Amino acid sequence: MKYYANGRPVRESTRVAKESEARRILKEREGRLATGQPVLPRADRVRYEEVTNDLRQHYQATGSRDMVEVEGRLAHLDHVFAGRRVSAIGQPDVTTYVLHRQTKGAANGTINRELGV
């Protein structure tokens, strides 16, 4: 499938066998663009590392958080969630993380702050 974002062509597989279905998906995306709705071509494929890198850049750009604190908190999260797709991380995974951190002796307030970052 080919569509344009910021004036540049973007290619993305629709993962469908029929060209007519791929065209339908393209028309749907074009319609979303025309109405100003967000087009998230790969939202289900975003990895944890991409999100945390964006978060780090945001905190550095805005200065809204102490980067030493952020890195310390993300280090614990990185250990558990690295390599995973964000869409696949759910409440059971967070509960497992909390239990893991509690067994390591972390206070509940610390765990909540880590998850809050």
Residue 107 has pLDDT above 80, yes or no: yes
Per the structure, the complete domain to which residue 80 belongs is given by 45-116
User: What is the distance between the alpha carbons of residues 117 and 107, in angstroms, rounded to a whole number?
Assistant: 16
Question: Tens digits of per-residue pLDDT, 17-66?
Answer: 888 988 888 888 788 788 887 776 666 678 999 999 999 999 999 998 89
One domain for residues 74 and 88: yes
Token reading at 112: 């909540």
One domain for residues 60 and 36: no
One domain for residues 55 and 97: yes
- Kindly give, in sequence order, each residue whose CB lies less than 8 Å from that of residue 106, ignoring residues fewer than 6 positions away: 76, 114
What are the CA-CA distances from residue 60 to residues 54, 55, 65, 110 (Å)? 10, 9, 8, 22
One domain for residues 26 and 64: no
The total domain count for the chain is 2
Confirm whether pTM is higher than 0.85. Answer: no
How large is the average pLDDT for residues 77-98? 93
Locate tokens 């993305």: which residue?
Answer: 12
How large is the average pLDDT for residues 78-98? 93
One domain for residues 102 and 52: yes
